[in-house]
A and B are shown apart, each in its own frame.
Chain A
Amino acid sequence: MLDVKNLAVAFGDIEPLSSVSFSLKRGEILGIVGESGSGKSLTALSIIGLLHLQGGRITRGQITFEGQELTQLAEKDYRKLRGGRIGLITQNPMTSLDPLQKIGSQLDSVIKLHLGFSQAQARERTVELLDSLRIPDAALICERYPHQMSGGMKQRIVIAMALAADPDLLIADEPTTALDVTVQAQIIMLLKKLVKERDLALILITHDMSVVAQTCDKVVVMYAGRAIEQGSVQYIFHGAQHPYTQALIKCIPHGLSKGQKLTGIRGTVPTVKNYPKGCAFHPRCDRAIAICSQQQPALIAASDAVVACHLVGESA
């Protein structure tokens, strides 16, 4: 249903995102993981066509959604997709809703815009939608303002908004980062349930590997603007070959006892302006060899997965 090929994004002269490819079917959950600044959110913005809001543009590649090529799509047609067939769930629910408008009218507007409902019909659907997301007193909530609600509740409203016009694809950009741990679990469960019930496709952008393990079918691991490894969730967690992916998995804390140290990856993600030559991960990689600092590794197809690492190339 969604097919991203060789996507590259530029801001002026710098290219913070290049050669990202993945595809997604209905009912599937794709996780995009990586540290901050690895290009996860840019990928999301490219798909929904809002890159220009941040001053970026797509320079190469194709995004095909249900047979439609999105990179060439006129802005007017794109607007019909946005909110209509592609829903976006943003990172920070605290600031994602217009504080001056009632919850109800913010939801109604999407329904009216995309489904052509009257105000009364739209409100009826809004209330149904909120009910289906287990938001208590839906009719009452519609008359509330965002500041009168908790973060978890607001994120449910944002999800409701993304679902309002019955989309086919949901993009959730770190939907739980700003929430309490207990609420995080609820939201993730909710998303998972929605995908199953409504036969949606979901792109879940996160830096939380344990969330990926619990929810996703497929995973794309991004580093410094590139997809360095991708495959099924089983492959990523049990057969990952890229040292970065392996390191990420090692960082997941499980069953730690008191006093035991958490694992991390030494160093920090390079900024866009000084991506290292060769493999961008080599300065932080424990197993780097000579060629790693010289040449960018190509993506190599290995059974059901794709990986970009010289070590994998050597052994294959």
Chain B
Amino acid sequence: MLIPVSIAISMVVFMIVHLLPGDPIDNLLRIGSSPEDRALMVAKYGLDQPLFTQYFLWMGAMFQGDFGQAIVLRRPVIDLIGQNLPYSLVLGGLAFAFSSIVGMLLGTVSAVVKNPILERFVRGFILLGSTVPGFWLALLLILAFSVTLGWFPVSGAKNWQSLVLPVLTIGFGGVALVARVTRVALQDAMREDFVMLLHAKGLSPGVILIKHLIPHALLPVVTILALRIGWILGGAVTVEFVFGRPGLGSLLIRAIGQRDYPVVQGCLLMLALAVMIGTLIGDLAQASLDPRVRENKS
């Protein structure tokens, strides 16, 4: 499944990138270069060949682990990705952990505690979190905590303080989503028939929640979290850019601006790969939690 999807994605990625107007050569030529110079450059990078041929050349190289050479940045694409990916992984990983843990806690509390004020607060939070766009929230946070209060740096990636705001920005939407799913899943689990029998066994509500209801609620939550893995890396694209952090997102945005085809293709493929790995992890986690899923697989 992974292989045909990868090939399909590579085609889409390649086409999207090459259908953009403009090309990287404009960024390479000095002002006052002649059309002949330009033609020479185009030929040098193979951009004069049919798209079809270009695609197969690129894919052929990819199969050998060669991401190609950045046209504008003049370095191997793999180096650029290798340099930027760790930043994105740290940011994405922290944002993922933040949204999972806080989201599940919030969702559980809102499902279990019957308090109208808390209920309204959580629902308001969920609504905000699901609708506020990341880049706008980022600007708001920078304005409040960096410019006005001066607690965290405005941009950069020098120390841990510089991680706080980006993690909050990316994690916020995730917290809301995870909280909502957890809440609904828990409420559904509470309505299941077997809960009555658990009470009839004499188990305390706490034990029932932790040992029986939460494992049930985790099934949909895990699915959502797995989808988030790719989403968070993709969502980090604009946030990295707003906070001026190095990372896959910043690299991608710069490369798009310069029409640096191999870099854009490399970055997009990495993001697509993350989504696929996320889905795979989700399926595996689902199987480890639910014996019924395990059985259908084998």
Q: Which of A84, A99, A114, A161 contacts B197 (CB 8 A)?
A: A161
User: Is there contact, CB below 8 Å, between A90 and B292?
Assistant: no
Is A79 part of the contact surface with B, judged by Cβ < 8 Å? yes
User: Is there contact, CB below 8 Å, between A88 and B193?
Assistant: no
Residue picked from B193, B202, B290, most chain A C-beta under 10 Å = B202
A145-B291, A145-B292, A147-B291 are contacts. A96–B202 as well, Cβ < 8 Å? no
User: Is there contact, CB below 8 Å, between B201 and A113?
Assistant: yes
CA distance A92 to B194 in the complex (A): 9
User: Is there contact, CB below 8 Å, between B197 and A79?
Assistant: no
User: Is there contact, CB below 8 Å, between A98 and B202?
Assistant: no
Is B242 part of the contact surface with A, judged by Cβ < 8 Å? no
Main secondary structure of the interface of B (DSSP, over half): helix
Chain A residues within 8 Å of chain B by Cβ, number: 30
Is A50 part of the contact surface with B, judged by Cβ < 8 Å? yes
Q: Which of A82, A95, A100, A145 contacts B200 (CB 8 A)?
A: A82
CA distance A50 to B199 in the complex (A): 8
Q: A88-B196, A100-B289, A147-B295 are in contact. List 11 more A-B contacts (CB 8 A).
A: A53-B195, A53-B199, A79-B204, A80-B202, A82-B201, A88-B197, A88-B200, A90-B196, A97-B197, A98-B194, A99-B291
**Those of B191-228 within 8 Å (CB) of chain A:** 192-204, 212, 215-216
Q: Inside 8 A of A50's CB, which chain B residues have their CB? A: 196, 199-200
Number of A-B residue pairs having CB atoms within 8 Å of each other in the complex: 72
Chain B residues within 8 Å of chain A by Cβ, number: 21
Q: Inside 8 A of A158's CB, which chain B residues have their CB? A: 197
A-B pairs with beta carbons under 8 Å apart, 21 shown: A48-B200, A50-B196, A53-B199, A81-B202, A82-B199, A82-B200, A82-B201, A82-B202, A95-B194, A96-B193, A97-B194, A97-B197, A99-B194, A99-B292, A100-B215, A100-B216, A101-B212, A113-B202, A145-B291, A147-B292, A161-B201
CA distance A172 to B56 in the complex (A): 70
Closest residue of chain A to B215 (Cβ to Cβ) is A100
User: Is there contact, CB below 8 Å, between A83 and B193?
Assistant: no
A90-B193, A98-B194 are contacts. A109–B215 as well, Cβ < 8 Å? no
- Closest approach, in angstroms, between the C-beta of A50 and any C-beta of chain B? 5
CA distance A113 to B204 in the complex (A): 10
